[in-house]
Amino acid sequence: MEPLKMIEKDIQPMDVHPMNDILRMDRLPHIWCPGCGIGTAVTAFAAGLDKANIDLKKTCIVSGIGCTGRVAGYIKLDSFHTTHGRGIAFATGIKVANPDLKVIVFSGDGDLISIGGNHFIHAARRNVNMLVICINNFIYAMTGGQVAPTTPLAAYATTSPFGCVEPPFNIPYLADSSGAVYVARWTALHVRRLTNSIAEALNKPGFSVIEVISPCAMYYSRINRLGDGLDMMKFYHDNSEIRHGEDTKNLDIGFQTKIIVGKFVDRERPTYMDSYNKWLSGTKKAEK
């Protein structure tokens, strides 16, 4: 077998992968299961950082708790691994204390939408200048597969052995109605579009939300008998439909139904720091 020899000859030392510069090599290999899509999203994020052409010395990343909450530990930027659900609250503090920084919140659905739900909607309402990347794997994966606010109706989970009875959150609709300026949704399969979306959102002032639908091979797929991560990727390939500018009301995800992806909202609103500075300069003038 000739090709096999070629691999042996070309194998490279561990420090030459092009993304090694942005990863904390002492922490790898990461904890994510085989077939998990979070690693793919992190790769797309690293490629998007490269593409956005921003100053990495002035970029920081905040994560909460959970599988996706580990991202901040693996990315070699100034990173915060915060308490459960408070990623956006920490990020708002960072942004207000030093408005020069570019702040990215990289966390999961259970962290951002359930436990940090109030922080999410209020940061969107204030339009704090940050990028929120929300990995949606439909479940609380790290703690053992409990029902999350994004678990589709009738899906099984560890805490819903007869099927989930609660209607799930529609994250783009939540973000849009709360006032986010950039809302997109991609799956872990759409790596190129996700990379472009991250690069675009990084250069957009305001509260940007990118939802990434990701396979959870160990809990969500296994308990629902959906196969492994690769089978989930094939499902996304067959059942996702790109509709840019779609009304966010129509983006509900049911159990194994069609997933509509794309860029839904792209608008301009004054950011929190803009309105704050404008108001403050107005009052100072009034005092004089």
Partner 1 sequence: MRYWEVPFGKEKPKTPIGEIHILKERCKGCGFCVEYCPKDVLEMSDEFNSKGYHPPKIVNGEACVNCGLCETICPEFSIWCTLKEEVALEN
Contact footprint for partner 1 (CB under 8 A): 3-4, 6-7, 10-12, 14, 16-20, 23, 28-30, 32-40, 42-44, 47, 189, 191-192, 195, 228-230, 233-234
Rank residues 14 and 97 by Cβ distance to partner 1 and give the closer one: 14
Which is it for strands 130-136 and 102-108: parallel, antiparallel or unpaired? parallel
Rank residues 117 and 227 by Cβ distance to partner 1 and give the closer one: 227
The residue whose two tokens read 């819903």 is 160
Rank residues 50 and 252 by Cβ distance to partner 1 and give the closer one: 50
Shortest distance (Å) from residue 4 CB to partner 1: 6
Shortest distance (Å) from residue 86 CB to partner 1: 26
Shortest distance (Å) from residue 186 CB to partner 1: 12
The answer to whether the beta carbons of residues 133 and 104 sit under 8 Å apart is yes
Closest CA to 46 of 14, 24, 15: 24
DSSP 8-state assignment for residue 91: H
Rank residues 28 and 242 by Cβ distance to partner 1 and give the closer one: 28
Shortest distance (Å) from residue 242 CB to partner 1: 17
Shortest distance (Å) from residue 212 CB to partner 1: 12
Which pair of tokens denotes residue 245?
Answer: 């500018």
Rank residues 132 and 217 by Cβ distance to partner 1 and give the closer one: 217
What is the identity of the amino acid at 60?
C
Sheet with 102-108, strands from edge to edge, namely: 78-81, 59-63, 102-108, 130-136, 207-213, 182-187, 259-266, 240-242
Q: Give, in order, the Cα–Cα distances in Å from 288 to each of 136, 280, 283.
A: 51, 13, 9
